[in-house]
Structure 1
Amino acid sequence: MTERVKLKDLEEAFDGLPYPITKENAVEEVEGVVLVYADGEEAASDVIARIEEEVFDDPASLAASIRNNLPVDAVGEPGQSEGEGD
């Protein structure tokens, strides 16, 4: 079964993992978790696999590393707001 997690809920979603956890173990542990983006979604394991850090000490460090490795469109388009345009 797939678990869908919004970006604002990352720390809570990964709170139950056995910390400290290696990147390799984190990829395995989050199998089936899908991150829900502003425009689309992606497997959490794919994002974690892109992270350079090899060990995460707690849910906050894992969540921060995930956020730092998200695609640009994951949280919406930067510099865009209502009412702008030509």
Structure 2
Amino acid sequence: MTRSVKLSRVGTLLADHDYPTTRRDAMDAFDDVTLLFADGQAPMDETLSEVPSDTFDSAEDLEMELYSQLPIEAVGEPGQSEGEG
């Protein structure tokens, strides 16, 4: 069964995992998760396979590395800002 998780909820999902962990263990734990972006989606395990670190001490560490691998379109329209001024 595949789980779909909005990108805004990925931190909650990662918090339920045991740490420290390895990239391989995280990939195995989340191999049934599809990340839902503002514009598109991606298998979480494939995204995790691209992170540069091999180990993570916390959910926050893993989340930061995961976000670093996402395309700009994952969080909204390119060039979109939270407002000016």
Same topology, TM > 0.5: yes
2:27 is aligned to 27
What is the identity, as a one-letter code, of the residue corresponding to 2:77? E
What is the aligned residue count?
81
1:37 is aligned to 37
Gaps of 5+ in 1: 82-86
Sequence identity (%):
33
TM-score, structure 2 length as denominator?
0.86
Where in structure 2 are the equivalents of 1:1-86 lying within 5 Å? Answer: 1-80=1-80
- How far is 1:77 from its partner? 2.4
80 and 17 in structure 1: CA distance in 2 versus 1, 3 angstrom threshold = closer
TM-score, structure 1 length as denominator?
0.85
What is the identity, as a one-letter code, of the residue corresponding to 1:5? V
1:84 is aligned to none
Tell which structure's C-alpha radius of gyration is larger.
1
Partner secondary structure for residue 24 of structure 1: helix
Gaps of 5+ in 2: none
